[in-house]
Structure 1
Amino acid sequence: MTLITNQNGDVLTVQTTYRSKPTLPGGAAHQDEKLADAATRELAEETGLRRRLAQILAVDQTPPNARTGATEGLNVVFDGGTLTPEEEAALSIPAKAHAEIEALVWVAPTDLDEKCDPYQARRIKHALAAREFDQALPALFRGELAA
């Protein structure tokens, strides 16, 4: 997952075809894929944005989901930075993502509780606080910077 903000401090989220509320852009890593590479790939696939993701803002443990068959896991939130006005104006859903992504949605931090699922709002707030207080961690792979 990747936290991206605009110049106003709004958070970029994606409205998927399979969730009722928007979420941070992201998805699962493929087998043998570094987490930073997975986050970079997912961000590009869902938003068209290409970013070097080297800083982790939050790690969120998730329980198993009997309904979907998903096992317990971790969601890692990378810092994708703040878009320039030009980057924001150029945002669009990539053609290959239209079956999965309905819209790119900017959410003000004050609206997170209303617009996002509670766990997602909490995750985003923690990531925003980590960024604000410069508490990001380097993304490592076998002790080396991953990105």
Structure 2
Amino acid sequence: MAQFTFDNSDAFAETVKNRIAVFNWQHWEVSERLPLGLKLESQTGELLAGFSGRTFGNWLMIDNLWVDESLRGQQIGHQLLVEAETIARSKGCKFAMLDTLNFQARPFYEARGYEVQWTQAAYPKTGCKYFMVKAL
């Protein structure tokens, strides 16, 4: 019987992730995940809003969209999302995907054409996570 040992280190997790990636690249027709980042800074260089994600074949994969509380309600998040979607379309993306928690931004994304495809209930205990998609 195999003897397993614990390794909760970030380095070990990254090694396993890389091993899966090597396998995947042998089977996918797309070989690049290209980062896509946008930011809004104050005149002093303070981060006021940001978007991070990546393009991968037909998909814009949205990781994070954040706007400083002082700028919320001023269409900054909308502008960030529109700009990211425009860039993604120019790179050949046809769809966008993201996940958001029940207390975060589901209404924001729904107002911009995103639809819930799946809900992960009881996450992490009493909340939920929404997985959303939009055709670009």
Q: TM-score, structure 1 length as denominator?
A: 0.22
Greater strand fraction, Structure 1 or Structure 2: 2
- Which one scores higher on RCO, CA 8 angstroms, separation ≥ 6? 1
- Greater Rg by CA: 2
Q: TM-score, structure 2 length as denominator?
A: 0.24
